Amino acid sequence: MTEQPRRLQVLQAIVEEYVARREPVGSKALVERHALGVSSATVRNDMAALEEEGLIVAPHTSAGRVPTDKGYRVFVDRLSEVKPLSPAERRAVRTLLDPSTDTEHMMETTVRLLAQLTQQVAVAQFPHEDGSTVRHLELVPLTPARVLVVLILSTGRVDQRHVVLETPLPEADLAVLRGLLLEAVLGLGPAQAAAVVDAAVVRMRPEHREAAALVAGAVHALLEAGRQDRIVMAGTANLARSTGDFGASIGPILEALEEQVVLLRLLTEMEHDAHGVSVRIGSENAGSLADTSVVAAAYGPGAVAKVGVVGPTRMDYPGTMAAVRAIARYLSRILTT
């Protein structure tokens, strides 16, 4: 094996050791735990060359080395394949991501599952509904004063919202309202439909207009939700287990995560690689996220929305990339079938 491929093998071993053990890696550990086929002296020479190239660094006065952002980047770029999820993980994805649930519940389940699989912070943009139209609208009376509003778009997206009426609406009048609303919005895009929802209210009898306005408000909110860039998140507590991987405080990172504009801009800019995922490492991220790595993949109609994770640069990149890609592919199947 020539020097360059061997040095890259040493770099891979350093990354794997540091991710697994969270300790600076020395030549002795590499020789003992990895089949490098060379002596400790050769490994030390390779480590010196890697350090000179800026791929690893010695923290403080430690005899061991840790990967730099540049080292992680070389490691990620040289991954020839992304390992598949285990059978148990695949079963969890199929079981927990239920296509029959509404979009809100599905996205919340998605990020909770991804956070569990990766032990990182999971984030997801809600699917974009550009080009979609209203396929169906249903008003389901649960009690005399409680109505379930169900909206179905041409993309297959199903959203629902409960409405509590101050004055009960008889089922016959609820059916009239449903007909008026459906007549107004059927076949329109979310933006067009949202603009005409209120017109159905004025066609109701005066004594029922207050209740009709509450129902129409729920329909309007469901239509608007399909047009907005929104993010759902889970697993922020996982950052607490990685505090040593960040700077003095994780506070700025938490603030950046809560600032959805920052995350939306970052996710929008990310473009997938040959593995179908995008990875931004450390200093490749601006501002407060410069101590983190972000792994994301596009999903859904047009592959516009993104799902991914945010965590420390000391991350299991192959495993994280596999989980993110699998979740994105499954979401795409749900939303396009």
Is residue 224 left, alpha or beta, with left meaning phi > 0 and alpha meaning psi from -120 to 50?
Answer: alpha
Statement to judge: residues 235 and 299 lie in one domain: yes
Query: Domain containing 176 — which CATH number?
Result: 3.90.1010
42 occurs within a structural domain: yes
CA 77 to chain centre: 21
82 occurs within a structural domain: no
Statement to judge: residues 138 and 262 lie in one domain: no
Domain end call among 225, 251, 267: 225
Query: Domain containing 240 — which CATH number?
Result: 3.30.450.40
Q: By residue range, what is the domain housing residue 14?
A: 3-77
Please give the Cα distance from 227 to 241 (Å, whole number).
36
List the Cα angle 88/94/98 in 5-degree steps: 145
306 occurs within a structural domain: yes
Statement to judge: residues 56 and 91 lie in one domain: no
Predicted model pTM: 0.72
208 occurs within a structural domain: yes
Query: Domain containing 24 — which CATH number?
Result: 1.10.10.10
Work out how many domains the chain is built from and give that number: 3
Domain end call among 190, 225, 260: 225
Token duo for residue 180: 């008026």
Statement to judge: residues 268 and 142 lie in one domain: no
**Strand ranges (DSSP E) for 178-223?**
none
142 occurs within a structural domain: yes
312 occurs within a structural domain: yes
Please give the Cα distance from 242 to 239 (Å, whole number).
5
Closest CA relative to residue 31, chosen from 51, 48, 14: 14
* One pLDDT digit (tens) per residue for the chain, 337 residues: 566 788 888 999 999 999 988 889 988 888 888 878 888 888 889 999 999 999 999 887 667 889 999 999 999 988 877 777 888 888 888 777 777 677 778 889 899 999 999 999 999 988 766 567 889 999 999 998 999 999 988 877 788 899 999 888 899 999 999 999 999 999 888 878 888 888 888 888 888 889 899 999 999 888 876 555 678 899 988 887 776 677 667 788 888 888 777 787 888 788 777 667 899 998 898 788 888 899 999 887 667 789 999 999 999 999 999 999 999 988 888 877 6
